[in-house]
Structures are given as C-alpha cells and as structure tokens.
Structure 1
Amino acid sequence: MIFPRYSKDPRTEQSLRHSVRDGVAYSVMAGAGETYFSAYALFLKATTAQISWLAAFPSLLGSFAQLFSAWLASHTGRRKAIILTGVVLQTLMWLPIVWLPYFFPEHAVTVLIVCVALYFAGGHLATPVWNSLMGDLVPERRRGRFFARRGRLMSITTFIALAAAGLMLHFGKTGDHTRLAFTLVFSLAALARMYSAIQLARMHDPKPVPRPLDLPPLTVWWTGLRASPFARFTLFLAIMNFTVAIASPFFTVFMLRDLQFSYLQYMTSLAFAVLLQFTTLGLWGRLGDIFGNRMVMLVTGGIIPVFPVLWLVSTNFWYVLILQSLGGVCWAGFSLSSSNYLYDVAAPERRAVFSAVHNVLSNAAIFGGALLGGFLSLVVPEHVSLFGHEMTWTSSLWGVLAVSTLARAAAALTFLPRLREVREVRRTTAAGLMLRVARFNALTVLIFDTMAFTRRRLRSSGSA
C-alpha cells in the first residue's frame, strides 16, 4: 500500500497506518453494503414514504448517539473504547439486516428501518470521538494531504466493492436469486467491518484530558454567530444538509423505479461518481492545504445546488453518467474541505464536543429534509397545467428535485460568503481555483505520487 510517512513518532505513524486499513475496510462495507440499503428496501417492496423514513430515522437516532458519545468522552476520556463499542454495534446489526427476508418477510421494511437506524447509531456513536482522536494523531500541516490520500484509497476501494456488489446483484436478479445475492453482499460488508474493528483496536490513543460537556445556551449561539467561525460553519452545513436531504434519499428510487435502470446500470452510475471522487481527492487536499478549505467549499458549494434539477433534463443513461461524474468531482472537494474545516475551527481539547454538536445539528437537519422530501413526493403531481399547457415530467419526484435545487442555492448564497479562513494560506480567487482544477490530470498526479514515495523509500533504505 503506497502511503508516505506523516509523523516522526513511531506509535503515531503506526496508528495512522492502522487508520488507513480501517478506512479501506470501512469502504468495503460502505460500497457493498450501505450503498444498497435503498435498493434493498425497494426489493422488499418499500414505498416512497418508507424510503424517506429509511433516510430520516437513522439521522434522528444518530443525533442522540453523537451527544451520548461526547458525554461519554468528556466523563471517561476512553476514546478507543467508545469507538469500538459503536463499531461492534454496527457489525452486529448486519445479522438481522441479512436475515430479515427469511424470518420477517411480512414486516421486512419496518424491521429494516429499525435495524438501519441502530446500525447508523453505532457509527454516529464512534464519529465524534474518532474525529477527536484523528485530530490529535494527524499533524496539522499535513492534514489535508493525509485525509486526501486516505480518502482516495477509500474511494477506489468503495468503487471496487460497489462494482462487485452491483455485478452480484445483477447476475442474481438475472437468475432469479436476488435475495441470495443481497445475503452474500451484506455478509461481505459485515466481515469487512469486523476487520475494521481489529485495525481500530490497534491504534494508539494519546489520551487528552477530558473536558466536561458544557453546551452554551441557545442565546449565546445566536449572538455569537457573527464572531464564531465554528457556529457559522455548523449552521451553514446543517442547513445545507437539510436542503441536500430533500432529494438525496430518492435518487435510488428515481433510477430503479422511474428510469427502470438495471442493477448493473445503477451500479455503474454510482461507480462513476466514486471513481471521479478518487481521482480528484488528492487535488482537493492539496488545494485545501495551500489556499484554504474555505475557498474549496466556496467553489464546490456554489456548483452543487444545480445538480438535482439537471436530473430532469434527460433520462439517457450516458447523460446520467456525465452528471454523476461531475457530481463526484464537486462532492469530493466539498466533503473533504468541510471535514477539514471543522478541524481548523475546533480547538483540540474540544473537538469531540464540537464534532458532536456539529453532527447532531446536521443529522437533525437530514431528518427534517428527508421527511420534507417524502412529503413532497406524495403531494406534488406528475402532471402540471401551466397557461393551458399540460406539462408531464419524467418522474413524480420532479418537485422534490426542484425544491432541493432552490433550497441549496439559497443556503449557498446566504452562508458561503460569510465563512472565513482561519489559517494562514495563500490568497487566490474562485476563478483561479477553478482554473487549477480544470488543468488537473489525475493520471499524472498518481504517477508523481508513486515516484515521490519510491524516492523516499530508497533514501530511507540507503540511510539504514
């Protein structure tokens, strides 16, 4: 595995390598498992409203899990124990998810929603403390590069796992063995999470002094919005997640039900997005380190709002692939820069608490957005009369996609200009950053990364 050194401390360096292996294993679980939850629900005959609850309820339960995680960390300081508890819970929840079509066929969708909610609760239990731990382990000046490299490995692993699972489902459906195919795919996801837990258990915890969970009153948050980079950023991302969640749970429904994609086409469309994330994460990490995460968010966050409504332009499969590819590029930059920006604005001793508050608000927003999207999918008609002309859309979900686009645009225009860079970085413009992205050649970057790693290994071997 090509991965350079990031710390002079052997224990820290080894922990970072275990973190990379954990990330790769997690990506197998996410690519082969989480990605197909909605497709699994549709296979179990879920309605559009149930799909919205499948997205909403886990977010709500995850919010409480994150607060509980921060409370535990502040009182015990045992970060690894909390992380492992959440990961083990995730692993165990795969058992009922795999077997529910065999034992609970009449209530399969309801049981799936509950199991998926508990599954994500385990992940959310680990998230704030994991963020705190990684913030202490990764050197600040190399944070963007480390998470970009780790993210690229995770993206390519997700791509492979997603593709393999999609092929299994495709051939399973062809042979009328879809249920068996889902069983095999989700069993692989469970085994991957078990390996992930082993790698997390081997990581070193510097054990910072725990701080009490003292959340400020709402009035303090409101009056401090203009002065606090963390408060402004948290409010922005919560609202952005709300607007994204209006449409995001229903893209699977749109492709499999409305566009009548096969599992192979569905997998291919997702794989294109993941592949473009993989090839551009390194670029976004470098740009974030050099020009600041705020500038990357400004560029990518300004483009993301237009994607939902573009799905209504054409039902052509190749058009969808182009759309997914562009979305993968933008979401790679936005996700990486927003997660790194949280490290920038949160003090090290407060990261677990700040991460919990940040994620609780975001998850609550996702809950509200998914429910709103489900409501819109039920009440917005597929046919609209405008000035005597009958307009027929490709999907009854057109209202969901249109509202999500307008809401995303409003959130981006309102909050992105108000974010401030908190690190000393080189100055550039949004146009200048976009020009650098346009000149990007993914293959060249991979070659130079490999050559640089080889030179470092040769130098270290020569000095030994």
Structure 2
Amino acid sequence: MRRRYSKDPSIDKSLRHSVKDGVAYSVMAGGGESYFSAFALFLKATTEQIALLASLPPLLGSFAQLVSAWLGHRTGRRKAIMLAGALLQAISWFPLALLPLLFPDDAVSLMITCVVIYFAGANLAAPQWCSLMGDLVPERRRGRYFAFRTRLASITAFTALVAGGVILHYFTESDYTLAGFILIFILAAVARLISAYHLARMQDIPGHVAALEIPLGGEWWQRIRHSQFARFSMFYGAMQFAVAIASPFFSVYLLRDLHFSYLQFMACTASTVLMQFLTLNAWGRISDIFGNRLILVVTGFCIPALPGLWLISADFWYLLVVQALGGLLWAGFSLSAGNFLYDLIPSNKRATYLAVHNVFVSIGVCIGAILGGVLGGLDILHSVVTRWQLDWPSVLYGVFIVSLLARLLVAVLFLPRLKEVRPVRTASIALIFRVVRFNPISGLIFDIVGSLRRYRKPRPGDL
C-alpha cells in the first residue's frame, strides 16, 4: 500500500520528493563526506593541514547560515536559496575529485578550499529547508513522517559508508586508490544533484521564511549574554572545542600510525553510526521521563574518558568496541543537547538563534582543531616520547590526553550549573531531526528541523 503523507495531493507529492531528497543526500554524506580525512591523508596532508581541514570549512561555512537568513529576509524566496546551496554543494565535488590529476602540488590546499565551498552550500540551504518542511508537513503527522524519513536516511547513510569503504579497499588492493576516491566522490556529486532535482520538484507554499528576525548588534548581545541560551551555547562550544583537539586526528591515528586498511577505518566509523541508530529512540524515551539535564550530565562526564580508552590498546577489535561505546554516549549527548537548546530558543526567533549557536560551536571546533594540530606537530612532543621511552604507537597520544583533560574541565565547570529548562513527566517536546553529515568520532550529525508536542495521560500522583 502506498504511504500517504497529506490529504493535499500537491503537498503529498512534495513530501515524497523530500524523502527521495533525504535518501540521495545521505548517499553523499555517508559515501563521500565520511572519507574527506582519508583522502587528505592519501594526498600526504600533514597533521597541521588535517587540523585546517577539520576547522576552517565548518567555521567559514557556518556564516552561510547568516547569509541564508539575510537573503531570506531580502528576497523571501526560500526555494531558490535552498537550491542554490544544494547545487553549490554538488558542484564542489567535481574539482575535489580531480585535484590530484590537475594540481598535484597544491592538492591539499585546494581540497580545503573545495570543502569550505561544500560546507557553505550545506549551510546556505539548511535554514530555508527547515522552514519549508515546517510548513509542508502537517503537525499531526510530523513525528511519524520525520521518524520514517530520518530512519531511511540513516540506513542509507550507513550503507553508503560501508559501500565507500569496500570500494576504496578494492581499488587499493589493485593499486588504484586514486581511482577509488574519484569514483566515490563523483557518485557523491551525482547523489547531491539527484537530491537537488527532488528539492526543485517540491512546492514552495506560502509560509514563514527563515530570516534574520532580530538585528545582530552589540545591543542584542548585551541583552542575551547572561541568558541561559548564551551559557548553554558557551558550554556546547567549549565541549566541541575540547573534542576537536583530538577528533580530527583519529583518522590520522588509524590510517597513518596504525596502518589500518580503508575497510578497518570504515568499520570503526560504522560501529559508531550503528550504535547511534540503535540507541537514539531509547535515549529519547529516557529524556521524556527524566529530562535532558540528567542525560547531559551523565554523558558529559563519560565522554572525556573516550580518548583515554584509545590509549589502552591499538587492537582493531578493541577500538571497534570503544567506537561503539562512543556512539552510545554521543547519541545521548547530541539528542539531549538538541532538546535543551530547542527549549531555550524563542520560536519566533529560531533562525537567528540557531545560526548564532552554530557560529559559537564552529569557532570552538576551529580553535580546538588548530590547537590539536599544533600540539601534534610540536617537536617537544616527539622528544618527550623519545626521552621517556614511552611505548606509544603514535605521538598523537599526547594530543588525546590533552583532549581528555579539556573535556573533563569543561564538564566540571559547566555541567553542575545547567538547570532543566522544562518540567518532565508531563508534556514534552519531541524534536524532529535530519541527518546532515558525518564525523569519525561522533558519527551521524543531526540537525533540528522542528518539534512536536507529545502528551500522555495524567498519572496518579502527578501534580
């Protein structure tokens, strides 16, 4: 039986195209973006260049959300802005795939430029896409629709991730690694073009365009800097800073220092993603019962241990288990953080607040990744390992220890001060997510699309 999303035929058709867009987008994210760092290492990128690859594109790309909101305010044409971002993202894949053939001497620097364009396209489209979907999907069907769409997108992204690893492994075994990268990147570009086609077929019904609802001046910042929103954004940005000290270099550790195959690298990433997929709903139920603060505190104090676990053994199967544990913790942390943030933001000013929050986080990631790159390239770290005769398979162990301490410091300073935003055990907000990109450490990266208020019947003893 054909699934029906809306009684209005034109809206139902648009929502079908959106599902196909999500599947195609996930092919790009899982099969292409997951291998950015692996491609950079294939191009002989240094630790410092890996740091720039992990830091500059998300930071510069995040400002495109503000540009999108400004364009939305100026033009009111959200579908055109959304398509421009999607096409920009698709086009960025073609020069990226051909860099080693056309510009072998400057391939790494130009790759970083292409990835900046890639992130800019994604962030340009995101606010308008969220706005359009909020108007297209009937609220009473919103939870079921996005649950189905996100589940399908997650399965597709996981499958594409595995397929990408298998392709690279096969071509590497035949000494044609570059051909393998070109193939998965061209497939990613085609997938995004297919995604853009389905976006173009969606109806842009009259609704609320994602725009700058408030001026981003000094007066506005003075007004909110002591708010819960500002404190939470600083906490989340600080935690992402601490995580980014180590996270960009996990790929370097696996591929360069431990000499893992692309198949083993894929498996480590896939174990994180699979565990997220299996536990996300359970975390959601726990959040509804006990609130978001409890999950943030528990996972926030456990996450610092993850880089410490990397130090215990370099065995592939052991690291697979550690990555699965990371997927469990990051699923809870990301979901509760998204819920917490959504409860803090005024609904009529969401586009601006989310854009500002994302800039905060991107700045934290940028500074953390650059710090990790500098630490990883310091001669003093090499000399310490040599002088103390440490049995480390990688000097990056020092970077992992710094990240562990920084994460723990952020947790100790911020988590005890967090206060639950909304009451629990009565009505709750069910957030609606979509898959936006991959991270080798935290797995699937979700974006908030909207919300759905869920109620349960009062129980005896409820106030």
Query: Shorter-chain TM-score: which interval?
Result: 0.7 to 0.9
2:384 equivalent in structure 1 = 384
8 Å contact from structure 1 (residues 77, 207) kept in 2: no
| 1:230 corresponding residue in structure 2 | 229
Corresponding position: 1:151 with 2:140? no
Residues 126-173 of structure 1: CA deviation (Å, up to 9, x unaligned): 223334444555677887776555433332212111111111111101
The 10-residue stretch of structure 1 (289-298 or 171-180) with the greater mean CA deviation from structure 2: 289-298
Instruction: Write the distance in 2 (CA, Å) between the matches of 1:334 and 1:81.
Output: 34
The aligned runs of 1:262-273 (5 Å cut-off) are: 262-273=261-272
Greater Cα shift, 59-68 or 102-111: 59-68
C-alpha displacement of 1:112: 0.8
Cα separation, 1, equivalents of 2:424 and 2:11: 26
Amino-acid identity (%): 55
Matched, 1:162 2:195: no
Equivalence for 1:39: 38
How far residue 214 of structure 1 moved from its aligned partner, in angstroms, is 3.1
Aligned residues of 1:144 and 1:286 also touching (Cα < 8 A): no
Of stretches 56-65 and 411-420 in structure 1, the one that deviates more from structure 2 is 411-420
- Whether 1:171 and 2:181 are equivalent positions in the alignment is no
Change (3 A) 1:280 1:19: farther
Q: Secondary structure at the match of 2:407?
A: helix
- The one-letter amino acid paired with 1:310 is L
List gaps (5 residues or longer) in structure 2: 427-463
CA distance in 1, matches of 2:293, 2:54: 28
- Quick check: 1:145–1:286 contact (8 Å CA) kept in 2? no
Q: 1:204 to 1:197 in 2, by over 3 A?
A: same
Distance in 1 between residues matched to 2:297 and 2:141, nearest whole Å: 21
1:245 positional shift = 1.2
CA offset at residue 39 of structure 1?
0.6
Shift of 1:323: 0.6
Amino acid at match of 1:28: V
Per-residue deviation, 1:274: 1.2
How much has 1:372 moved relative to structure 2? 0.7
Q: Any idea what the Cα deviations from partners look like across 1:386-427, whole Å, max 9, x if unmatched? A: 9x9543322111121111111112222332333344344318
Q: Is the 8 A contact 1:128 1:351 kept in 2?
A: no
1:10-409 equivalence runs, <5 A: 15-136=14-135, 149-201=148-200, 202=202, 204-208=204-208, 212-217=212-217, 221=221, 224-226=224-226, 228-379=227-378, 380-382=380-382, 384=384, 390-409=389-408
Which residue identity lines up with residue 384 of structure 1 in the other structure? V
Q: Is the 8 A contact 2:69 2:210 kept in 1?
A: no
Residues 1:403 and 1:302: Cα distance change in structure 2 (over 3 Å):
same
Q: What is the alpha-carbon distance in structure 2 between the residues aligned to residue 337 and residue 22 of structure 1?
A: 27
Once the 2 structures are TM-superposed, how far is the Cα of residue 190 of structure 1 from its aligned partner? Answer: 0.9
Distance 2:151 2:317 in 1: 25
Deviation at 1:92, TM superposition (A): 0.4
Q: Return 5+ residue gaps in structure 1 as ranges.
A: 428-464
Task: State the alpha-carbon separation in 1 of the partners of residues 4 and 405 from structure 2.
Answer: 43
Whether the 8 Å contact between 1:242 and 1:368 is mirrored in structure 2 is yes
How far, CA to CA, are the matches of 1:4 and 1:292 in structure 2? 33
CA contact (8 A) 2:66 2:212 kept: no
Whole-Å Cα distance in 2 between the matches of residues 393 and 419 of structure 1?
38
- 1:235-254 per-residue CA deviation (whole Å, 9 max, x = no partner) reads 22211221111111111100
Secondary structure of the structure 2 residue equivalent to 1:381: helix
3-state SS of 1:425 partner: coil
2-structure distance, mates of 1:290, 1:383: 51
Partner of 1:452: none
Please say if 1:414 is aligned against 2:413: yes
* Superposed CA offset, 1:277-311 (max 9, x none): 12122223344445444443333333222111211
Q: 1:307 to 1:104 in 2, by over 3 A?
A: same
Of residues 206-215 and 59-68 in structure 1, the stretch that sits farther from structure 2 once superposed is: 206-215
- Judge conservation of contact 1:151–1:278 (CA < 8 Å) in 2: no
SS of residue in 2 equivalent to 1:384: helix
Secondary structure of the structure 2 residue equivalent to 1:392: coil
Residue 285 to residue 198, structure 1, CA distance change in 2 (3 Å): farther
Provide the residue aligned with 1:435 in structure 2: none
* Inter-CA distance 42–169: structure 2 relative to 1 (3 Å threshold): same
In 2: Cα distance, 1:303 partner to 1:348 partner:
32
Aligned length: 424
Given that 1:87 and 1:126 are in contact with CA atoms closer than 8 Å, whether structure 2 keeps it comes out as yes
**Residues 378 and 211 (structure 1 numbering): CA distance in 2 closer, same or farther, change over 3 Å?**
closer
Q: TM-score, normalised by structure 2?
A: 0.83
Question: Given that residues 131 and 209 in structure 2 are in contact (C-alpha distance below 8 angstroms), is that contact kept between their aligned partners in structure 1?
Answer: no
* 2:207 partner SS: coil
Three-state SS of the structure 2 residue aligned to 1:84 is helix
Partner Cα separation in structure 2 for residue 296 and residue 135 of structure 1: 27
Task: Report the Cα offset of residue 49 of structure 1.
Answer: 1.0
The one-letter amino acid paired with 1:72 is L
Higher helix share: 1
| 1:210 and 1:349 in contact (8 A); partners too | no
C-alpha separation between the residues in 1 aligned to 2:158 and 2:110? 28
Decide whether the 8 Å contact of 2:92 with 2:114 is kept in 1.
yes
User: TM-score, structure 1 length as denominator?
Assistant: 0.82
Moved more, 69-78 or 333-342: 333-342
